[in-house]
Amino acid sequence: MLTFPGRRWFVGLALLAAFDFAYIYLAGHRVDLRSLLGTAGSGIGLLCVVAANYWLLNAKRGGVLLVTTPSSRRLIEKLQTFFEGYAFILLGWVALRLFNHITMMTDIPYADAMLLAWDRAFFLDWNAYFSFVADRPALIRILDLAYVSLTPTSVAGFIGLFLLGRIEAARFFVVTFTTTAIVCTVIGMFFPAVAAVGYALERPELLDQFATRPGWYSIPILEALRNADTYTFNVFDLPGLTTFPSFDTAAGIVLAYAYRRSLLYIPVLCYTVVMIASTPVWGGHYFVDLFAGAAIAVVVCRAFERTDRYRTLFAPPAAGQPHLGPVAATKDMMRHATGE
């Protein structure tokens, strides 16, 4: 039980959640319980299903297992693995987002001037890019859709790896995603920023080109976190607040990395490129944020890939073993999904 992504990962998640809630309440803040139960309740419910599956696999009557057929046991085991992973994602989302928010409750000065200076040192013109996007309505719609879909796409990416039969790749995705989120959050704590739209935009009239003001959502939340004596955390409304490094960029790269050597690698990679292109506008990120997020994602993925567990996960086919064509790969995917 709790083998995906592993018991240690669940213990680590529980410790992070305990730290979150201890800090929040000891500091005199609180969490909206209705929003907490509405979000974390789904993950807890899935863990109850996992426990029921575990009992079913081991239940006996008269000394004989209730479930004896290999196909039935394989199906229950696969469902158990999937539910464990999905529960970890749901509960991890709450713990990581709360952690992200409490790391912004500091009086560290905003780092916008420094981040903008780093951009300029590399001859990167954020305003020129923002103007380029603002003048193209079709591009606005495409990038907006890519940016807001990152969370559901990441969940769909986890499910897709299961359907492809790439269980270890799904595990790799979950653990690297979680690790990258923690690293970006800890580093970002020392670089709080109102972000480029709020600090560096030279032509405010360009905002009229957008249906909703991009890259602005974090500013009132940051100000409230830094200045309110008592803050109520609504779990339904916990957007990412880290500017440097860009976790959106890191998450996209982790997703594409996990799909290497798979049937869907190219479409996932294309989505990642478009989503990263949206972050300077809708996330308000400076370009150095993107570079830092990408670097962290690559380092984390490479570090895990070199462990014994994942060393051969993305290795090319052995000599003499041909790559699967699209039709054969699709059939192979369906065999994995149905357990045949």
Mean pLDDT, rounded, for 158-175:
95
In the prediction, which pLDDT does 153 show? 96
Greatest CA span in the chain, whole angstroms? 77
Burial class from Cβ neighbours inside 10 Å (0-12, 13-18, 19+) for residue 212 reads exposed
Residue 48 is predicted with a pLDDT of 86
Q: How confident is the model at residue 64 (pLDDT cuts 50, 70, 90)?
A: low
Look at residue 91 and tell me whether its pLDDT is greater than 80.
Answer: yes
Q: Which residue has the higher pLDDT, 155 or 57?
A: 155
Give the residue with greater pLDDT, 335 vs 306.
Answer: 306
In the prediction, which pLDDT does 119 show? Answer: 97
For residue 108, what pLDDT is reported? 95
Task: Check pLDDT > 60 for residue 278.
Answer: yes
Report pLDDT digits (tens) over 2-38: 889 999 999 999 999 999 999 999 999 999 998 888 8
Is the predicted pLDDT of residue 297 greater than 90, yes or no? yes
Does 291 have pLDDT greater than 60?
A: yes
- At 69, is the pLDDT very low, low, confident or very high (cuts 50, 70, 90)? confident
Per-residue pLDDT band at 337 (split at 50, 70, 90): very low
What pLDDT digit, counting tens, does each position of 219-273 carry? 899 999 999 889 999 998 899 999 999 999 999 999 999 999 999 999 999 999 9
How many CA atoms within 13 Å lie on the side-chain side of 114?
10
CA–CA separation, 164 and 235 (whole Å): 32
pLDDT over 80 at 318, yes or no? no
**Helix, strand and coil in the chain, % to nearest 5:** 65, 0, 30
* Angle CA 292–297–300, to nearest 5: 120
Side chain identity at residue 123, one-letter code: F
Mean pLDDT score, 174-200 = 96
Q: Report the percent of the chain where pLDDT is more than 70.
A: 91
Average pLDDT for 77-106: 93
Q: Give dist(CA 2, CA 22) in Å, integer.
A: 25
Share of the chain above pLDDT 90, in %: 72
**What would you report as the CA-atom Rg of the chain, rounded to the nearest whole angstrom?**
22
| Better-predicted residue by pLDDT, 109 or 340 | 109
DSSP string, 234-249: -TT-------SS-HHH
- Rounded CA-CA distance 226/105 in Å is 5
- Read off the pLDDT of residues 103-114 as tens digits, 9 standing for 90 and up: 999 999 999 999
- Which of 60-74, 93-107, 304-318 is most confident? 93-107
- Helix axis angle for 126-134 and 265-282, nearest 10°, is 110
pLDDT of residue 333: 43
pLDDT of residue 46: 83
